[in-house]
C-alpha cells in the first residue's frame, strides 16, 4: 500500500526508530523537542485562553521533556504555571534533562497535586511510550482529575493508553485534546483510545518524510480511498452487465427474507451489474413481493446449488444474513469453495464448532471475506479472541493469516486485515450506524465490490468505507432501509 504521510500510522516502536534515525542523520534532536513543547504550549493557550492555571505533569522520559519545554514557554509568555513530576528529575537523561535544566519552574512530586477549579492539565507523563500498567500515584491523579472534571491536553497520547493497541493500561486520562507529532499511532484510532484522545491535532516538527517512510512498515494505516482506489476497475462506457459482475445473495426461509434483501439491494447500489437472490422455493413469493431490480432463483438444497453453479458467470456470493445456522449453510459454503464469498452472521456461526473446516475450503488466492463482530470473532477464532496480550489489529491480522481470508473485525473501530499482513483501521463510521440490519447492508456492499473484480481485501476495505459514508448521508435515526438507500458506488 502506498500512503500519504497523513494516512500512515506508526507504532510507538516505529516512532522511536524514526527519532533515532533523525538524530543519526544529523538533525538536532533537542530542536525537535523544542518545537514539540512549543507547539503544546501554543495549543494550550489557543484552546484554554481562560485557564486560571496550567498544571504541567512531567514524566521520566522524552514525553516529560516535551512537557518541560511547554511549561517554560507558558511561563515565559506570562501564563500561570505549576509543575509536577514523577520520579527524580535529577535522573533525567539527554534531551529531557536539557529541557528540565532550561525550565526555571520548581516542580513538586506528582502525588502532591490537588486539582483546583480553573486548572488546565497538560499531560506529559508517558505519551505513547507506556507498555505496562500505570503506577499507583499516576492512577490516583488520573482519578482526581476526572472527578474534578478538568480539561486535559495530552502530549502525544493520553497517559495510560497503549499507543499500539489503544487499550487502557490500568487507568488513563480522558483528554479534551491531544497533540501528537508527525504521524498518528494506531492507539489514536482504536477504541477506547480514540474516545480518550478527544480532538486530535498532528503537528509537523520537521522530521523529513523520507525518514518516516523508511522506518514505517506501512502495514497499519487508516482506511481511506488512497488505500484501495488503485485497484478500482476503469469505467467502461460500453460495458455489459455481466462485466460489472453478478452477485448472488442467499435468502433465509419465508419468514426470514428481509436481511437478504438488504444485502442484495446494497450490492446493486454498490455497482454490481446484476443481483440475484437465491431463495428456498417456499420463500420466493415473500421475496418477490418486495423486489423489482433484483432477480430471484429457487435453490432448496446443495444439489440445486451444484446444478446452478455449472453457470460459470456466477462467481460472487453473500451467505449469512437471515440464512439460519447449521448443516445447510455448511453444505452451501462447501459448494462455493472455488468462488468468491462474503460470509456473514449465520454463515460464520455455522462453523463455530469446526472453524478449520471452513478455512481448509479457501486456499490459494484470498477470495473469502469474513465479517465477524466481537462475539462471532471469538467463536470463530477462540485462541486469538481470548489472547489478552493482543490488540484488535494484531487479532485481525492473526485471524486473516489463519483463515486465508480478508477479515472485517467489526465495531466502532472496525479493522480490515489481509492474510499478507496489511491492516486498515476504519474511522468514518458515525455512532448511529450501530442499528439492526446494518451488517446485512455491509455484507451486500462488499459483495457488490467483489463482483466487480476488486480483490478480497480491497473490496472489504472499500465496502466498510462506503458503509460509513452512506450512514453520514442517511443521518441520525437511520434504519437499515435508509442506509441501503444511501449507498453509492465508488
Annotation-wise, does 88 bind a ligand? no
77 is in an annotated binding site: no
C-alpha span between 109 and 244 (Å, rounded): 66
Count the Cβ atoms, other than its own, within 10 Å of residue 393: 26
First-to-last alpha carbon distance for the chain, in angstroms, is 19
State yes or no: 440 annotated in a binding site.
yes
- For residue 16, give the C-alpha cell: 522511536
Q: Does the annotation flag 132 for ligand binding? A: yes
Report phi then psi at 304, rounded to 5: -60, -45
- The verdict on whether residue 87 carries a ligand-binding annotation is no
Q: Is residue 175 annotated as involved in ligand binding?
A: no
CA distance 195 to 58: 23
Please tell me whether 258 is known to bind a ligand: no
Residue 241 is labelled as binding a ligand: no
CA distance 371 to 343: 7
State yes or no: 43 annotated in a binding site. Answer: no
> Alpha-carbon distance 448 to 466, whole Å?
11
* 414 assigned binding-site residue: yes
Answer yes or no: is 439 a known binding residue: yes
64 assigned to a ligand binding site: yes
CA dist 127 and 155 (Å) reads 6
The residues pairing with 108 across neighbouring beta strands, listed in sequence order, are: 84
Please indicate if the annotation marks 320 as binding a ligand: no
266 labeled binding residue: no
Q: Is 326 annotated as a binding residue?
A: no
* 61 belongs to an annotated ligand binding site: no
Residue 313, annotated as binding a ligand? no
Picking from 196, 150, 204, 156, the residue whose alpha carbon sits closest to that of residue 175 is 196
Rg (CA), the chain: 26
Q: Is 129 annotated as a binding residue?
A: yes
State the alpha helices, DSSP H only, in 352-437: 355-361, 374-380, 382-385, 392-403
Q: 11: annotated binding-site residue?
A: no
287 is known to lie in a ligand binding site? no
Residue 323 near residue 346, CB atoms below 8 Å: yes
Tell whether residue 14 is among the known ligand binding residues: no
Per-position DSSP letters for 219-230, written without gaps between them = -EEE--GGGTGG
Please, which residues have CB within 8 angstroms of residue 217's CB and are 6 or more apart in sequence?
Answer: 11, 14
127 is in an annotated binding site: yes
**259 known member of a binding site:** yes
Which residues are annotated binding-site positions? Answer: 62-66, 123, 127-133, 156, 159, 259, 322, 373, 410-414, 439-440
Which residues are annotated binding-site positions for K(+)? Answer: 63, 123, 159
Which residues are annotated binding-site positions for AMP? Answer: 410-414, 439
Which residues are annotated binding-site positions for (6S)-NADPHX? Answer: 62-66, 127-133, 156, 259, 322, 373, 440
Amino acid at each position: 500500500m502506498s500512503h500519504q504521510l497523513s494516512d500512515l500510522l506508526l507504532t510507538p516502536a516505529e516512532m522511536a526508530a524514526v527519532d533515532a534515525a533523525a538524530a543519526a542523520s544529523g538533525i538536532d534532536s533537542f530542536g525537535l523537542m523544542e518545537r514539540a513543547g512549543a507547539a503544546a504550549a501554543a495549543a494550550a493557550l489557543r484552546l484554554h485562553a481562560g485557564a486560571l492555571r496550567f498544571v504541567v505533569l512531567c514524566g521520566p522520559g522524552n514525553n516529560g521533556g516535551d512537557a518541560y519545554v511547554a511549561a517554560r514557554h507558558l511561563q515565559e509568555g506570562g501564563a500561570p504555571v505549576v509543575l509536577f513530576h514523577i520520579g527524580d528529575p535529577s535522573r533525567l537523561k539527554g534531551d529531557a534533562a536539557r529541557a528540565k535544566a532550561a525550565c526555571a519552574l520548581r516542580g513538586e512530586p506528582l502525588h502532591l497535586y490537588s486539582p483546583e477549579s480553573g486548572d488546565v492539565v497538560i499531560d506529559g507523563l508517558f505519551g505513547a511510550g507506556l507498555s505496562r500498567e500505570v503506577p499507583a500515584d499516576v492512577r490516583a491523579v488520573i482519578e482526581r482529575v476526572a472527578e474534578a472534571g478538568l480539561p486535559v491536553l495530552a502530549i502525544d497520547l493520553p497517559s495510560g493508553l497503549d499507543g499500539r493497541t489503544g487499550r487502557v493500561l490500568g487507568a488513563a486520562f480522558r483528554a479534551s485534546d491531544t497533540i501528537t507529532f508527525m504521524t498518528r499511532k494506531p492507539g489514536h484510532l482504536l477504541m477506547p483510545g480514540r474516545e480518550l484522545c478527544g480532538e486530535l491535532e498532528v503537528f509537523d516538527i520537521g522530521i523529513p518524510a523520507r525518514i518516516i517512510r523508511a522506518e514505517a512498515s506501512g502495514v497499519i494505516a487508516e482506511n481511506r480511498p488512497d488505500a484501495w482506489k488503485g485497484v478500482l476497475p476503469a469505467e467502461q462506457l460500453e460495458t455489459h452487465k455481466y462485466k460489472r459482475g453478478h452477485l448472488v445473495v442467499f435468502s433465509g426461509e419465508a419468514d426470514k427474507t428481509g436481511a437478504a434483501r438488504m444485502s442484495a439491494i446494497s450490492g446493486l447500489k454498490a455497482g454490481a451489474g446484476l443481483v440475484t437472490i437465491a431463495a428456498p422455493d417456499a420463500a420466493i413469493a415473500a421475496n418477490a413481493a418486495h423486489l423489482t431490480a433484483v432477480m430471484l432463483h429457487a435453490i432448496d438444497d446443495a444439489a440445486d446449488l451444484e446444478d446452478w453453479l455449472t453457470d460459470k458467470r456466477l462467481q460472487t456470493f453473500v451467505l449469512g444474513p437471515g440464512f439460519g445456522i447449521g448443516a445447510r449453510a455448511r453444505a452451501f459454503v462447501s459448494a462455493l469453495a472455488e468462488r468468491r464469498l462474503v460470509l456473514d452472521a449465520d454463515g460464520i456461526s455455522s462453523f463455530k464448532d469446526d472453524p478449520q473446516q471452513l478455512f481448509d475450503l479457501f486456499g490459494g488466492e484470498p477470495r473469502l471475506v469474513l465479517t465477524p463482530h466481537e462475539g462471532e470473532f471469538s467463536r470463530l477464532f477462540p485462541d486469538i479472541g481470548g489472547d489478552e496480550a493482543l490488540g484488535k489489529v494484531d487479532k485481525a491480522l492473526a485471524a486473516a493469516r489463519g483463515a486465508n481470508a480478508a477479515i472485517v473485525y467489526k465495531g466502532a473501530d472496525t479493522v480490515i486485515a489481509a492474510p499478507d499482513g496489511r491492516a486498515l483501521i476504519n474511522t468514518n463510521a458515525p455512532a448511529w450506524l450501530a442499528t439492526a440490519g446494518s451488517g446485512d447492508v455491509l455484507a451486500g456492499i462488499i459483495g457488490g465490490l467483489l463482483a466487480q473484480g476488486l480483490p478480497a481485501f480491497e473490496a472489504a476495505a472499500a465496502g466498510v468505507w462506503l458503509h460509513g459514508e452512506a450512514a453520514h448521508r442517511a443521518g441520525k435515526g437511520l434504519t437499515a432501509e435508509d442506509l441501503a438507500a444511501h449507498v453509492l458506488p465508488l
